[in-house]
Structure 1
Amino acid sequence: MREQLILPTMGCGTWAWGNRLLWGYQPSMDQELQQVFNFCVTSGITLFDTGDSYGTGRLSGRSESLLGQFSQAYAGRHQQEIVLATKLAPYPWRLTAGSMKRAGAASAKRLQRPIDLVQMHWSTANYAPWQEKRLLRGLAELYEAGQVKGVGLSNYGGQRLREVHRWFQDWGVPIRTLQVQYSLLSTDPVLKYDVKAVCDELGIQLIAYSPLALGLLTGKYSLDKPLPKGLRRRVFRQVLPNMAPLQSCLQELMALHQKTMAQVALNWCICKGTMPIPGAKNLTQAQENAGALGWHLSAAEVEALDQAAAQVTKTMVQNPFQSR
């Protein structure tokens, strides 16, 4: 009997090994990130998401390697519930089902265990739709061979999801998850591309990545304080001046529930039926993320946040690979 993927039920995962390793990894980070991993699992936060493109050049595959290292080193509560998810990138040189199967095997080697959830990192529908079906077939074959417990997608809109779902139905392989950029400052995937409605209809769990909008929903940034450098600074300068109604609503709910802004923003994602996967660069951030669990905003409070978010005229830049 095939071993099936069991997703966590606590409504929160951890996306802790992404751009940080891509842009500035230092070996000294290993011990700190191990502490983050240990805390999360002990707290019942057991879904960890990464990708084979997180870590390039000399750091090739480093994110997956660290995640495998941390998983192997952990021994304690919820150990058997750990779910390691990775995304395989549809690089231009990956053209066949076999290429994705080889990529999956390489990821599993770095993770030091079979992949629990293998995902297509993004749809090629926007630029090379002819490439996609063969690559997805590779993911299906990994599942059919028992080399992964579940298959998921990332950055798909409702229209493309329906089409791809038909392919997987023909192959007899279920799609378990779909992750999209989703937060109070990034609602397009749900409102414009219908991903939540289609996921609910098809029985697919929606995962929200970047649920804190690169930190804009943590309350740590304002125009009168130093902003991050590079692209984030440009984005923050455009979004922050338009956030007043949303920030005011978040602050009211912070005071009412005795929570931080980040915890309120994450709980909103949970109340929307998604599984948010916030990043955690250190133990303090992981502990704050965990504070989003164990309570719920009321329906009226969720609606108030929805209305405040709708007043933000400049929101987060959308992922260019997000399909319709």
Structure 2
Amino acid sequence: MKTRKLGELEVSAIGYGCMGLSIGYGSVPERSESIQLIRQAYDWGCTFFDTAQLYGAGDNELLVGEALQPIRDNIVLASKFLVPTTEHTSTREGLFAEIQSRVDTSLKRLRTDHIDLYYQHRMNKDIAVEEIAWCMGRLIREGKILAWGQSEATEEEIRRAHAVTPLTAIQSQYSIMERMYEKDVIPTCEELGIGFVAFSPLGNGFLSGKYTADATYTGRDARRVITRFSKENVQANQPLVDVLTNIANQKGATPAQIALAWMLHKKDFIVPIPGSRKPERVQENLGAADVELTDHEFNQLEAELATIEIHGNRTDEDIEKLRSMA
């Protein structure tokens, strides 16, 4: 497996987003199967694993901690925290106490004495990013985390936070289907030497080409509310799948691998973290690190993508609708 640098952290060129093993896409695997899958991902070369306190109300951290315990020293572990606005967060010490409580809880769940990369899981507009950055610097000095990052931050938030405690990575949604961060955030990361970690790099699986307009989703499956999976949008986005499939056939690869190879070709500080619950899909995703696009192939793909309109998206607001759906 090729490796990349997120700041000073060296990680596999493709990581593994573990969220789907607990929530997000309907029924989840048996716990023993999930543990085995995480360990298989490591055997296939993955050294970068991503979780969060929010996933499954902490259950995902418990799962990931158990799975990675035997190989903890050989991997880079990332997790995330949310900070609500309360009377305690109005002061620096109160804010630090809130965050410290969260990191301590995560450390116990993850069965480790430090988290390699600790993200603020979405930005709280009521709390200055400078104050969060100060708290992160203190946690780094205490050794509870090695580095920190932000999720879905703006260019301004990145610059303000980085000036207080340097950021190691920004984690945001990024794929061929969602390219809004190419305008300002990714260039800012390049300027400041910050890594960029892409969640949903396969458009929540859409770019695998395995979804049809007739597919149905039930229960707590996010695809019920992600608009790119509506019947009309699946049909409208077929030209995108066709382009990826055509290149995949030429390269002896899969559409998903081409979508990931496109991202890896973009910048050497971008690391996608696709998530899957099937061994063959995880192996396929990690195998994309060996699928290299030539400059000509990349430019040809970009030219074709420029002619395609993307229909539908994935937003936090839509995901929130799942809470009220039967």
Tell me the TM-score normalised to structure 2 length.
0.83
Could you tell me how far apart the structure 2 residues matched to 1:115 and 1:231 are? 28
Contact 1:217–1:262 (Cα < 8 Å) also in 2: yes
2: CA distance between counterparts of 1:23 and 1:302?
A: 31
Alignment-mate amino acid for residue 68 of structure 2: S
What is the deviation of 1:243? 1.7
Alignment partner, residue 212 of structure 1: 202
1:292 aligns with 2:288: yes
Partner residue in 2 for 1:6:
9
Q: Hey, what does 1:179 align to over in structure 2? A: 171
- Over the aligned positions, Cα root-mean-square deviation in angstroms equals 2.4
Which of 149, 161, 173 is equivalent to 2:158?
A: 161
Tell me the CA shift for residue 133 of structure 1: 3.5
In structure 2, the residue matched to 1:226 is: 215
Shift of 1:131: 4.9
Task: Work out which of the residue numbers 179, 182, 186 in structure 2 matches 1:190.
Answer: 182
CA distance in 2, matches of 1:186, 1:251: 19
User: Counterpart of 1:282 in structure 2: which amino acid?
Assistant: K
What are the residue-to-residue correspondences of 1:1-324 with 2, within 5 Å?
6-8=9-11, 10-18=12-20, 20-21=22-23, 29-56=30-57, 61-74=58-71, 80-93=73-86, 95=89, 96-113=95-112, 114-125=114-125, 128=126, 130-168=127-165, 174-191=166-183, 194-223=184-213, 225-229=214-218, 232-233=223-224, 235=227, 236-237=229-230, 238-273=232-267, 274-310=270-306, 311-319=308-316
Q: Distance in 2 between matches of 1:256 and 1:23?
A: 31
Structure 1 position 16, deviation (Å): 1.9
For the residues of structure 1 that align with 2:8 and 2:76, how far apart are their CA atoms? 8
Cα shift readout 1:80-122 (whole Å, capped 9, x = no counterpart): 3211110111223472122111111110111010211111111
Matched-pair contact (CA < 8 Å) for 1:211–1:266: yes
Structure 2 distance, partners of 1:176, 1:320, is 27
User: Counterpart of 2:55 in 1: which secondary structure?
Assistant: coil
CA contact (8 A) 2:257 2:288 kept: yes
Contact preservation (8 Å) 2:18, 2:60: no
Query: CA 1:72/1:19 → structure 2, altered by over 3 Å: closer, same or farther?
Result: closer
Runs of 5+ in structure 2 lacking a partner? 1-6, 90-94, 319-326
Contact 1:207 1:276 in 2 (8 A): yes
Q: Name the CA shift for 1:33/1:44 in 2 (closer, same or farther; >3 Å).
A: same
Specify the alignment match of 1:171 in structure 2.
Answer: none
Cα distance in 2, alignment partners of residues 196 and 124 from structure 1? 21
**Cα offset, 1:24, TM superposition:** 5.8
CA distance in 1, matches of 2:247, 2:25: 35
Q: Deviations over 1:170-217 (max 9, x none)?
A: xxxx311111100000101223xx111100110011111000111110
CA drift of 1:150 comes to 1.1
**Partner amino acid, structure 2, of 1:232:** R
Tell me the secondary structure at the aligned position of residue 197 of structure 2: strand
Q: In structure 2, what residue type is equivalent to 1:220?
A: K
> SS at the partner of 2:177?
coil
The residue type paired with residue 14 of structure 1 is Y
Partners of 2:128 and 2:173 in 1: how far apart?
Answer: 23
Number of equivalenced pairs: 297
- In structure 1, the gaps of 5 or more residues are 169-173
CA distance in 2, matches of 1:213, 1:287: 18
Aligned residue type for 1:87: K
CA distance in 2: counterparts of 1:280 and 1:54, whole angstroms: 15
Q: Percent identity?
A: 28
1:127-155 CA distance string (max 9 Å, x none): x2x35443332222110111111111111
Q: 1:248 to 1:211 in 2, by over 3 A?
A: same
